[in-house]
Structure 1
Amino acid sequence: MTQIAPQPRIKLSKLRDIGWSRWDPIGLLDPEDPAGRWDDKANLSFADEYDSYLISAASQLRRGTPRDEVVAFLVGIET
């Protein structure tokens, strides 16, 4: 019997590093610092909201959802 290896866990800090550097759907990050930092004290108050979007997008990709659909999900949050 072939065993299926479990998928690696999503590392939230890595997901935040990627997501926050490329995506700010509701314009909360400092425009003078476009890369933003999820671990800046000023950003922690809304980190959980962004985390929920990023975790959902990553989970969709892991389940095999086409990339275009995941992009549409993220764009939908922005609009």
Structure 2
Amino acid sequence: MEEFNRLINAQLKTMEQLLYVQSEIERCQDIEKQFLANQEEVKAKSIQEEIQDRKKELTKIHETFERQTEDVIRYYQQEQAAVQ
């Protein structure tokens, strides 16, 4: 059961990262809208690059989360098979 808890805790940390990066993307998008409204194209382009970087980071974190979910399921199934 200790291994299961470790897997779940790792997954929760990844979820926290995912939510943080997602909120950062939203924050950057709000800033981008302000720059575009004020016709500050250079600043808007800079923030758009940051948004793209954050989206790539989000994709990697999401992939990690999916792998962790598979690990949790696999471990749970192995434990259930061992009990039977």
Give the TM-score normalised by the residue count of structure 2. 0.32
Greater relative CO (CA pairs within 8 A, separation 6+): 2
Pick the structure with more helix per residue. Answer: 2
Whose Rg is larger? 2
